[in-house]
Amino acid sequence: MVLNDDDPSLAAALDPATAVAVIGTGAMGSGIAQVAAQSGHTVHLVDAAPGAAQAARDRLGTTFERLVAKGKFTSAEATKTLDRLVVAESVAALPPVGLVIEAAREDLATKRELFGDLEQRQPAAVLATNTSSLDTSAIADGLRHPDRLIGLHFFNPPALMRLVEVIHGPHNATDAGREILDQATDLVRRWGKTPVRCTSTPGFIVNRVARPFYGEAQRMVGDGSIEPATLDLAMRDAGFRMGPMELTDLIGQDVNLAVGTSVWEQTGRDPRYEPTDFQRDLVAAGRLGRKSGNGVFAYDANGIAQNAHADATRAATLSAAESPVVTNPVARTLAMLVNEAVDLVARGEATAEDVDTAMQLGTNYPKGPFAWGQEIGFDTVADQLATLDRAFPGGRYRPSPALRQRRP
Ligand SMILES: NC(=O)c1ccc[n+]([C@@H]2O[C@H](COP(=O)([O-])OP(=O)(O)OC[C@H]3O[C@@H](n4cnc5c(N)ncnc54)[C@H](O)[C@@H]3O)[C@@H](O)[C@H]2O)c1
């Protein structure tokens, strides 16, 4: 690997012999370290909190023991894999590595400072951030070779979730930058993951396209058109593994609201992404979901929802294909998901194929939005949105001009 001030244009292969450093060993960093170590890399762990990197290594040791007990690992493999995880005192104490993956606090100043330091200390390394909401171009801004920095957005938990969004911006548009992106994409694939490419757009693919799954449900429940449990049932009947109400209770209403607010702010408060009063009120009342014992639903000590009584007849009637889109939770949500996906692709931010892959793997949707669009008909989706736009003016339901250009 040659990527330095003398010759920034050359990048050699990232392979299992490449040493990796993971900076920030919390929920995401420790999972990413596990994936890399299981793929044969020596992984150096750094965390700003004293003892945190060692604690992450200890937790992974317990994980490997569990995998041995389940017959997924031999104890020799477990020992070897654990031996590949090495605790480093600090970024300054790291040996030269080929890849750094940063999973520290979600804060632009923290990440910029870290990468400014890493660029000096690791002249040959590809620099990757696991940011979920920050613009990777803003993180790279100020580096001498910003094309060394890419986004590798893993999903939680990294050991189990197959999807990785590989994020790039204008700062990657050099020969060396493109080479690094290709190599990182190949590496992620060799780690048994499914990479998709996306520009550094607010929310990337998954967190952007998924917004209406929550927003439409909250608007319908909020205005009293449907009961929460009935809405969840309608969505499960349509093939979603969980309804939006129970899912946001599981994620945490505060966490889901923060992601939605971040996308809304970063898109200049586009009404498409405006958070709902329904969710803001839940959060303000401390009804955060399962973790607080109360969210949309109330939970008992075993995490079982207590007031989730669904009306199956009403769920079926409202979501029947011929039911009006304004009060049809399934048609309304799907129209908005398709619209969002079509717009993202029309802006050149990702391919339709990658969007469908990302939504199926990142959110467990039974189909990708383009597959739904084909099935429903893109013109029908445009008509449904026009109806919604008339019912609720203000821009949220404006159809993407690209919808009318897509042919089934
Ligand atoms: N949790 C998720 O579901 C999720 C999913 C995808 C991406 N992300 C992103 O991954 C990153 C980490 O998230 P997390 O959930 O693992 O957080 P976390 O709070 O579990 O872990 C963050 C760790 O980073 C350490 N840290 C903070 N500042 C540091 C610094 N300057 N140098 C070294 N270590 C530092 C902290 O001590 C902590 O151990 C964030 O950017 C987040 O947005 C999170």
CB-CB contact of 88 with 46 (8 Å): yes
Query: Which pLDDT does position 13 carry in this prediction?
Result: 64
* Ligand 1 pocket: which of 23, 28, 46, 256 to mutate (most atoms within 8 A of CB): 28
* Mean pLDDT, all residues of the chain: 95
Please name the residue whose Cα sits nearest to atom 18 of ligand 1. Answer: 26
Same domain, residue pair 156 and 300: no
- Cβ of 52 less than 6 Å from ligand 1: yes
In a domain, 12, yes or no: no
Question: What's the pLDDT score for residue 106?
Answer: 95
Element (H, E) at 332: helix 329-346
Q: Are residues 94 and 228 in the same domain?
A: no
d(CA 249, CA 289): 4
Atom of ligand 1 minimally distant from the CA of 28: 16
| Residue 194 and residue 216 in one domain | no
**207 Cβ inside 6 Å of ligand 1:** no
129 lines ligand 1 (CB under 6 A): no
Please tell me whether residues 187 and 334 are part of one structural domain.
no
Active site residues: 132, 153, 165, 207
Alpha carbons 314 and 27: distance in angstroms, whole number: 40
Is the C-beta atom of 47 inside 6 A of ligand 1? Answer: yes
**Cα–Cα dist 170/200, whole Å:** 9
Mutate to test the pocket of ligand 1, among 22, 32, 35, 105 (most ligand atoms within 8 A of CB): 105
Range of the domain at 212: 207-403
Atom of ligand 1 nearest to the CA of 31: 16
Q: Is 114 in the pocket of ligand 1 (CB under 6 A)?
A: yes
State whether 279 and 328 are in the same domain: yes
**Token pair for residue 124?**
């040959």
Domain count, the chain: 2
Strands 149-154 and 163-168: antiparallel
Domain containing residue 139: CATH number: 3.40.50.720
Q: Are residues 269 and 317 in the same domain?
A: yes
Ligand 1 atom closest to the CA of 131, numbered from 1:
41
Q: Are residues 221 and 195 in the same domain?
A: no
- For residue 60, the one-letter residue type is L
The reply to whether 194 and 214 lie within a common domain is: no
Q: Flag whether 8 is in a domain.
A: no
Q: Is the CB of 259 under 6 A from ligand 1?
A: no
Which ligand 1 atom is the nearest neighbour of the CA of 29?
16
Last residue of a domain, one of 138, 166, 199: 199
For the chain, residues with pLDDT lower than 70 are: 1-13, 407-408
> Are 167 and 227 part of one and the same domain?
no
Residue 407 confidence (pLDDT): 55
Classify residue 153: in a domain, yes or no. yes
Which pLDDT belongs to residue 88?
98
Q: Are residues 318 and 391 in the same domain?
A: yes
SS3 for 208-255 is HHCHHHHHHHHHHHHCCCCCHHHHHHHHHHCCCCCCHHHHHHHHCHHH
Give Cβ neighbours of residue 382 (< 8 Å, ≥ 6 apart): 399, 403, 404
Q: Are both 339 and 281 inside the same structural domain? A: yes
Single out the residue in 173, 199, 225 at which a domain terminates. Answer: 199
What's the CATH code of the domain at 393? 1.10.1040.50
In a domain, 326, yes or no: yes
Task: Give the end of a domain, one of 160, 175, 199.
Answer: 199
What are the CA-CA distances from residue 261 to residues 220, 229, 268, 273 (Å)?
19, 25, 11, 8
What is the pLDDT at residue 2? 37
Distance (Å) from CA 131 to ligand 1 centroid: 8
C-alpha count within 13 angstroms, C-beta hemisphere, residue 28: 18
Answer whether residue 10 is part of any domain.
no
27 lines ligand 1 (CB under 6 A): yes
The answer to whether residue 111 sits within a structural domain is: yes
User: 369 and 329, same structural domain?
Assistant: yes
- Residue 4 covered by a domain: no
Asked if residue 90 is part of any domain, the answer here is yes
Q: What is the pLDDT of residue 12?
A: 52
Alpha carbon 48 to its chain centroid, in Å, reads 24
